[in-house]
Amino acid sequence: MNIKLLGTKVSKLSLLVGESNEIELEDEFRLSFDNAYSEEDATSFIVRFFITVSSKEEEFKLDVEYVAFFSSDEPISEEFQNSHFSTMNAPALASPFVRSLINEITVNSNLNPVLLLTVNFQELVRQHQNHNKDSLVVGRSD
């Protein structure tokens, strides 16, 4: 089975900057993701990323929902849906685009650049499986 990353897009974006925020800011980074499969097209699937980055010092909060579109040359089976490729490799293929987007948004908003570290999706999925969590989340909140 050959898998191809077709493209990516931002599906939701919220950036709050400055003292006018009515929310209490804290230093935070959260990343979660999931996969969704098309009922209409058995050869495609998406990976959705949900990212929150905020800084008390910089006075901003950024929330992004980012979608990566994949296709396969064969119908996607339930076995594939539960495989390492869909839970680890596909998110890892799309993550550089997410990292670049977060950096570009902060730089172009006249904020200090946010450089997200590379995520070890294999370790993230392993931790998820060991703790029987409902969602895959990596994050830090100080």
Instruction: Please give the single-letter amino acid code of residue 37.
Output: Y
- Segment 122-138, tens digit of pLDDT: 777 676 666 554 444 44
For residues 97 and 40, give the distance between their C-alpha atoms in angstroms, rounded to a whole number: 26
List domains and CATH numbers for the chain: 3-134 (3.10.420.10)
Q: Which residues on adjacent β-strands are paired with residue 63? A: 14, 52
For residues 24 and 111, give the distance between their C-alpha atoms in angstroms, rounded to a whole number: 18
The first and second tokens of residue 55, run together, are 């800084």
For residues 1 and 57, give the distance between their C-alpha atoms in angstroms, rounded to a whole number: 47
Q: Which residues on adjacent β-strands are paired with residue 61? A: 16, 54
| Closest to 95 measured CA to CA, from 74, 79, 118 | 118
How big is the CA angle at 28 (ends 24 and 32), to the nearest 5 degrees?
120
Instruction: Give me the chain's average pLDDT, please.
Output: 84
Whether residue 141 is predicted with pLDDT greater than 70 in this model: the reply is no
Q: What pTM value is reported for the model? A: 0.82
Average pLDDT over residues 61-67: 96
pLDDT of residue 9: 97
pLDDT of residue 122: 74
Task: Please state whether beta strands 136-141 and 28-37 pair in parallel, antiparallel, or not at all (unpaired).
Answer: antiparallel
Sorting pLDDT into bands at 50, 70 and 90, what band is 109? very high
- Segment 2-48, tens digit of pLDDT: 889 999 999 999 999 886 556 677 888 888 888 999 889 999 999 99
Residue with tokens 């890892």: 92
